[in-house]
C-alpha cells in the first residue's frame, strides 16, 4: 500500500497540505493546515500514521488568493 511519501512524487511542488485525523473524537480533527511540502515531510519524520485516503482541496487564503492542495486523511497518528 502506498503512503504519503510515495504519493508526494506525483504532487506539484507548490501545493499546500492539510492533515486530517479520521479516528479522533474531537470536534476539529485537523492536525495541521496549510503545510508546505517541506513542512509536511518534517511532520512525517516525527509522526507515524496510516493513510486512509486523500482528496484535492481548493480554497481562498486571507489575501483572496486561491490555494490548491491535498488533504491527507489519516488514522493511528503517533509521535516517533
Return the exposure string of 49-72: e unless at least 16 CB atoms fall within 10 Å of the residue's CB, then b: bebeebeeeeeeeeeeeeeebbbb
CA 74-62-75 angle, to 5 degrees, is 5
Residue 29, pLDDT score? 85
56, β-bridge pairs: 70
Q: Quick one: pLDDT band at residue 13, thresholds 50, 70, 90?
A: confident
- Residue 60: which domain range? 4-79
Residue 16, pLDDT score? 96
The residue with greater pLDDT, 35 or 27, is 35
pTM confidence score:
0.86
Q: Quick one: pLDDT band at residue 27, thresholds 50, 70, 90?
A: low
- The neighbour count for residue 18, using CB atoms within 10 Å, is 20
Amino acid at each position: 500500500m502506498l503512503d504519503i511519501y510515495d504519493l508526494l512524487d506525483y504532487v506539484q511542488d507548490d501545493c499546500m497540505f492539510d492533515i486530517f485525523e479520521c479516528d479522533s473524537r474531537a470536534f476539529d480533527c485537523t492536525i495541521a493546515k496549510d503545510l508546505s511540502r517541506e513542512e509536511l515531510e518534517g511532520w512525517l519524520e516525527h509522526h507515524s500514521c496510516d493513510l486512509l485516503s486523500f482528496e484535492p482541496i481548493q480554497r481562498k487564503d486571507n489575501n483572496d488568493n486561491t490555494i490548491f492542495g491535498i488533504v491527507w486523511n489519516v488514522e493511528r497518528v503517533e509521535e516517533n
